[in-house]
Amino acid sequence: MTARLLDGAAAARAIRDEVRAEAARLIAAGRRPGLGVLLVGDDQASAVYVRSKTRACEEAGLHGETLRLPGATTTEELAAQVERLNRRPDIHGILVQLPLPGHVDAARILGLIDPAKDVDGFHPTNVGLLVQRRPRFVPCTPAGIMELLARNGIELAGRRAVVVGRSDIVGKPMAQLLLHSDATVTVAHSRTRDLAAVTREADVLVAAIGRAGLIGREHVKPGAVVVDVGMNRVQDAAQAAPLLAAERRADFEKKGYALVGDVRYPEVREVAAAITPVPGGVGPLTIALLVRNTVRAAERA
Sorted by where each begins, the domain ranges of the chain are: 30-117, 139-283
CA 218 centroid distance within chain: 26
Q: Do domains 30-117 and 139-283 have the same CATH topology?
A: yes
**What pLDDT, on the 0 to 100 scale, is given for residue 95?**
96
Q: pLDDT (tens digit, 9 = 90+) per residue, 268-281? A: 999 999 999 999 99
Q: Which residue among 97, 117, 203, 228 is the active-site one? A: 97
Q: What fold, for 139-283? A: Rossmann fold (3.40.50)
pLDDT of residue 44: 80
Predicted confidence band of residue 260 (pLDDT cuts 50, 70, 90): very high
Q: Is 235 a catalytic residue?
A: no
For residue 46, name the pLDDT band (cuts at 50, 70, 90).
confident
Order of all β-strands in the sheet with 225-228: 4-5, 274-275, 225-228, 204-207, 160-164, 184-188
> Is 53 considered catalytic here?
yes
Q: How much is the pTM?
A: 0.95
State the average pLDDT over residues 43-52. Answer: 85
Give how far Cα 17 sits from Cα of 22, 59, 194, 222, Å. 9, 10, 43, 35
Told to judge if 120 belongs to the known catalytic residues of this protein, a careful annotator would answer yes
Question: Can you tell me the mean pLDDT for 194-215?
Answer: 97
109-117 own/partner pairs: CB under 8 Å, 24+ apart: 109/75, 109/78, 109/79, 109/82, 112/79, 112/82, 112/83, 112/86, 113/82, 113/86, 114/86, 116/297, 116/300, 116/301, 117/85, 117/86, 117/91, 117/92, 117/93, 117/297
Q: Which of 53, 81, 176, 203 does the annotation list as catalytic?
A: 53
From the options 3.40.50.10860, 3.90.580.10, 1.10.3720.10, 3.40.50.2300, give the CATH code of 30-117: 3.40.50.10860
- Burial per residue of 153-174, b for 16 or more beta-carbon CB atoms within 10 angstroms, e otherwise: ebebeebbbbbbbbbebbbbbb
Task: Give the whole-number percent of the chain exceeding pLDDT 90.
Answer: 90
Taking residues 11-38, report their average pLDDT: 96
Catalytic residue among 114, 120, 203, 262: 120
Per-residue burial over 270-296, b if 16 or more Cβ lie within 10 Å, else e, is: ebbbbbbbbbbbbbbbbbbbbbbbbbb
**What is the rounded CA–CA span in Å between residue 27 and residue 173?**
31
Q: Are 71 and 46 in contact (CB under 8 A)?
A: no
